[in-house]
Chains A and B, each alone.
Chain A
Amino acid sequence: STVVLIFQAPISKLLQEGDSSQEFNFNVKCGDRIRVGEALGRWHSS
Chain B
Amino acid sequence: TSFTKKLLTPQPPPSINAATNGGGNSQGDSSYFLPGATVATILMLGALHARRMYDDKKHEEMREKGIELEFQPDAKASFLRLLPLRSISRCWGQLTSMEIPVWLRPHVYRAWARAFHSNLEEAALPLEEYTSLKEFFARALKEGSRPINADPQCLVSPVDGTVLRFGELKGAGAMIEQVKGFSYPVFSLLGASSLLPTAADINVQEEHTESITTTEKSKKSWWRVSLASPKVWDPTSSRAKRGLFYCVIYLNPGDYHRIHSPADWNILVRRHFSGHLYPVNERATRTIRNLYIENERVILEGVWQEGFMALAAVGATNIGSIELGAFNMG
Contact = CB atoms under 8 A, between A and B. Distances in A.
B251 to A, nearest CB: 5
Interface string A28-46: 1111111111111111111
B259 interface: yes
Q: Tell me what chain A mostly uses at the interface: helix, strand, loop, or mixed.
A: loop
Given A7-B309, A7-B310, A36 B166 contact: no
A7 B249 contact: no
Contact of B243 (A2, A22, A37, A42): A22
Interface string B292-321: 100000000000101111111111100100
Given A4-B312, A6-B190, A37-B149, A11 B240 contact: yes
B237 to A, nearest CB: 6
Given A36-B256, A37-B148, A20 B156 contact: no
B250 A11 contact: no
A4 B153 contact: no
A24 B245 contact: yes
Q: How large is the interface on A (under 10, 10 to 19, 20 to 34, 35 or more residues)?
A: 35 or more
Given A35-B157, A45-B153, A9 B245 contact: yes
B322 to A, nearest CB: 8
Contacts of A43: 153-154, 306
Contacts of A24: 155, 243, 245
A13 B169 CA distance: 17
Q: How large is the interface on B (under 10, 10 to 19, 20 to 34, 35 or more residues)?
A: 35 or more
Contact of A36 (B154, B159, B308, B311): B159
Contact of A40 (B162, B239, B247, B315): B247
B197 A1 contact: no
Contacts, number: 198
B314 A4 contact: yes
Given A36-B156, A37-B157, A9 B246 contact: no
A29 B57 CA distance: 21
Given A20-B168, A35-B157, A6 B310 contact: yes
Residue from A9, A11, A20 having most chain B Cβ neighbours under 10 A: A9
B170 interface: yes
A22 B166 CA distance: 14
Given A3-B314, A5-B249, A7-B306, A34 B196 contact: no
Interface of B: 63, 146-149, 151, 153-170, 176, 186, 189-190, 196-197, 237, 239-251, 256-260, 262-263, 280, 292, 304, 306-316, 319, 322
12 contacts: A1-B251, A1-B319, A2-B313, A4-B176, A4-B247, A9-B243, A23-B240, A36-B148, A37-B147, A37-B149, A38-B149, A42-B153
